[in-house]
Structure 1
Amino acid sequence: MTHDDSLAARFALAQTAARAAGAHALALFHDRASLTIETKHDALDMVSRADREAEDVIRAMVSEAFPEDGFLGEEGGAQPGTSGLTWVIDPIDGTVPFVSGLPHWCVAIGIQSEQATEVGVVYQPILDEMFTARRGAGAALNGVALRISPTTRLTNSLTGIGANHRAIPEHVAGVCCKLMAQGGMFYRNGSGALMLASVAAGRLGGYYEPHMHPWDCLAGLLLVREAGGQTLPMPDGASLAEGGEVLAAAPAVWPDLAAITGHS
């Protein structure tokens, strides 16, 4: 099997696994009363058995097909592999919307080589929307190619803003104030992966979050780049698991949003 064939097989499996994990999570979404909700760092940093079981679905499918691959998951942590490829998984990105009965959650899967993110899949089960990307081969939504419009500007689109317990409130508020002062408007739905996919689909003009873990953003960042947008790079190598600052935008939005967030 060639390298391209190997990645193509994993690309197909990532979509199948995301759909299977999404179906499992969706069943539990409709039976939320049965879930015991736990917290991590604060009251809004939630996890439930839905997160763990959805990640288990993905890990089991990948382990059977590609036992030599590594994992980096939000719930299950890191598991080294020998193939040079690592599956970076967030089984439910947007757990707070999920447990609150809101539709803004998704399954996010990235496949990382030693050089870059090779595959990105973001699946939104409620709308049955499958966002996909392969490095150098473009991005798509349900099989239809995505290309960000050159007419998208800061002033004629919404900008997604993310924040969590690692963010400095005054910094996030300052970004929102500067955005509005320049004629833009912020948007937040609780799922960074889904908002990044929305940038790729042209539904948002850009997205900013002071810090994201790789399982939350690698797939979405690849989607944006392959749809013709710009992003800040994620750390690589040993520092990948630590995550970092995320900025992604349509080409004509990038200069303004970069200046607002201190990257001009």
Structure 2
Amino acid sequence: MTDAIAARHQAAEQIAAEAAALALGYFHRRADLVVETKASPQDIVSRADREVETLIRARLAALCPDDGFLGEELGVQAGTSGFTWVIDPIDGTSPFIAGLPHWCVAIALQQGAATVAAVTHVPVADEVFTARQGGGVRLNGALLRLDDAVRLTNSQTGIGASHRSDPTAMAALVQALLVAGGVFYRNGSGALMLASVAAGRLGSYFEAHMHAWDCLGGLLMVREAGGVTAPFCADGYLLAGGRVVAAAPQVWPALQDVLIAAEV
């Protein structure tokens, strides 16, 4: 089965590159896109999101016709192989539409309940994060490993928020983080911020609720870099989404203190 994972991972890297090129073309023509709102004015979707996910699904289905799919825009398609592809075609649609560079194409592969491979392609920065369970995480081919010198007080903590976030709780979190000597960072793409934790660019990341397509790949990357992550959707029901916590090993204890103080 390891060969099956490796083959799928390699295919995902190639398909993510094709998808990223398609998304980047739309990014450069974003003034022509029709933008629709979903759950709130901050929760948006465009033709680019749908067409990128359609491309990814079509390419993967041609190679692995028995695999299942879970995607942000096109929903669930059951499979029979035991493998499920979890796809966010453009994570960070708001920055994308605004002309900011903080967005990515995120693909994760589940085998049963385990995330076994992931690719996060960042087109504007020309960066590709890849990870395989037990095989490490790489950025443009270079192996990543977290530095034990990273602490809450000498790094940035990524914070995710959405229309599902409680404003009072988020304010308490920022206050507790600042009191503890930390600083916060947000760019609008949870998948990219999790990859940044794996790369040592951020010391940690927290979001009260994320969807599986936003975070499964990034959580695998953090673990493969030597970081710590909280269990996500421990009941196995990925459609519900859940709380996400990830950190470099020496940041984790202080981050837990912050979360306790903020009661989040």
Answer yes or no: same fold by TM over 0.5: yes
For the 8 Å contact 1:114–1:237, the answer to whether it is kept is no
Alignment of 1:6 with 2:33, yes or no, is no
Larger displacement relative to structure 2 (108-117 or 68-77): 108-117
> Aligned partners of 1:32 and 1:113: how far apart in 2?
36
* Identity, % of aligned positions: 58
For the 8 Å contact 1:179–1:260, the answer to whether it is kept is yes
One-letter code aligned to 2:84: T
> Aligned partners of 1:108 and 1:158: how far apart in 2?
22
User: SS of 1:107's equivalent?
Assistant: strand
> Aligned partners of 1:111 and 1:241: how far apart in 2?
15
> Aligned partners of 1:176 and 1:214: how far apart in 2?
24
Counterpart of 2:122?
124
Once the 2 structures are TM-superposed, how far is the Cα of residue 120 of structure 1 from its aligned partner? 1.3
Between the two proteins, the alignment pairs up a number of residues equal to 262
Distance 1:7 1:237, change over 3 A: farther
> Aligned partners of 1:72 and 1:26: how far apart in 2?
23
> Aligned partners of 2:83 and 2:27: how far apart in 1?
31
> Aligned partners of 2:124 and 2:144: how far apart in 1?
20
Q: Deviations over 1:158-180 (max 9, x none)?
A: 10000011111111111110000
Counterpart of 2:243?
245
> Aligned partners of 1:261 and 1:85: how far apart in 2?
34
Counterpart of 1:23?
21
After TM superposition, the structure 1 = structure 2 runs for residues 43-192 of structure 1, keeping only pairs within 5 Å, are 43-192=41-190
Counterpart of 1:195?
193
Aligned CA-pair RMSD = 1.2
For the 8 Å contact 2:90–2:105, the answer to whether it is kept is yes
Unaligned runs of 5+ in 2: none
Counterpart of 2:35?
37
Once the 2 structures are TM-superposed, how far is the Cα of residue 115 of structure 1 from its aligned partner? 3.4
Q: What's the TM-score, normalizing by structure 1?
A: 0.97
Unaligned runs of 5+ in 1: none
Once the 2 structures are TM-superposed, how far is the Cα of residue 238 of structure 1 from its aligned partner? 5.1
> Aligned partners of 2:127 and 2:255: how far apart in 1?
27
One-letter code aligned to 1:161: I
> Aligned partners of 2:218 and 2:241: how far apart in 1?
14
Q: What's the TM-score, normalizing by structure 2?
A: 0.97
Once the 2 structures are TM-superposed, how far is the Cα of residue 113 of structure 1 from its aligned partner? 1.1
> Aligned partners of 1:154 and 1:237: how far apart in 2?
30
Q: Deviations over 1:200-230 (max 9, x none)?
A: 0000000000000000000000000000000
> Aligned partners of 1:10 and 1:150: how far apart in 2?
32
Q: Deviations over 1:50-80 (max 9, x none)?
A: 0000101100100100000000000000000
For the 8 Å contact 2:113–2:236, the answer to whether it is kept is no
Larger displacement relative to structure 2 (95-104 or 112-121): 112-121
Q: Deviations over 1:2-46 (max 9, x none)?
A: x11111110001111111111000000000111000000111101
One-letter code aligned to 1:13: A
> Aligned partners of 1:62 and 1:258: how far apart in 2?
39
